[in-house]
Amino acid sequence: MTVLAGVRTLLYKEVLRFWKVAFQTVAAPVLTAMMYLLIFSHVLEGRVEVFPGVGYTSFLVPGLVMMSVLQNAFANSASSLVQSKITGNLVFLLVTPLSPQAWFLAYVGASVVRGLTVGTGVFIVTALFTAPQFAQPGWILVFALLGAGMMGSLGLIAGLWADKFDQMAAFQNFVIMPLTFLSGVFYSVHSLPSFWQGISHLNPFFYMIDGFRRGFFGVSDVSPWLSLAVVGSSFLLVAGIALQLLRSGYKLRH
């Protein structure tokens, strides 16, 4: 019970941290996604049909929703740890009896909450522009949770590694952003030359986006079971690394 109380308290603190500045952490990403939708749908609607019977705007919405989930889940855990290091209040967590598993559950749990909150906001706003479809909603939930959990874990690793916001921003700009934008958010990888299709299939973000989109239209570039295997394995790998770093106290006790 003590462990669960500690996880619940830290989780509440982390959720409250981003919710108190919701205009920046929730509203701003929703506005950004809406701008992407307005621009790309205006230019490409009626000119591009990725899946039979699916308009480009409809195709774009799941990609924007999942992109928002992934980016904000990562940003939550990464920014929280870096901020705690800079302000010096991390010491108050270090003196608590919380285990590494409790830290992991609280930080990643809050990242999942933020990612899903932003994703839901993006979906509600974009639903004003195109009627949503839910062909296989189970895949939507599975990939949203796994994707947010993986990115929250990756944010935890980045937050442990980074000592200042510049380093965290570099990780986000040179790793997270390119992998996200090259994952098929705005296009189908089948429209690419064979070489770049092969490169895209090495990107785990592609499988998160593609599996998530499968839940809306019932069609995807690859089998959802393959996507589930790749995303699930990636989550376990990243989560294991994050837990090991927490157990070792990497860049926490200095």
Dmax over CA atoms of the chain, in Å, equals 59
The contacts found for 160-163 with CB under 8 angstroms, 24 or more apart, are 160/81, 160/242, 160/245, 160/246, 160/250, 160/251, 160/252, 161/250, 161/251, 162/78, 162/81, 162/82, 163/82, 163/85, 163/251
Provide the pLDDT for residue 3.
Answer: 65
From residue 8, alpha-carbon distances to 5, 17, 20, 104, 164 in Å are 5, 14, 18, 12, 27
Which residue, 177, 148, 143, is CA-closest to 76? 148
Burial class (CB in 10 A: 0-12, 13-18, 19+), 243: middle
Strand blocks (E) in 81-140: none
Provide the pLDDT for residue 46.
Answer: 58
- pTM of the shown model: 0.92
| Residues 3-41 pLDDT 10s | 687 889 999 999 999 999 999 999 999 999 999 988 887
Provide the pLDDT for residue 1.
Answer: 46
The domain spans of the chain are 2-43+55-248
Q: Read off the DSSP letter of residue 46.
A: T
Stretches where the chain sits below pLDDT 70 are 1-3, 43-49, 254
Q: Which two tokens stand for residue 106?
A: 């609280």
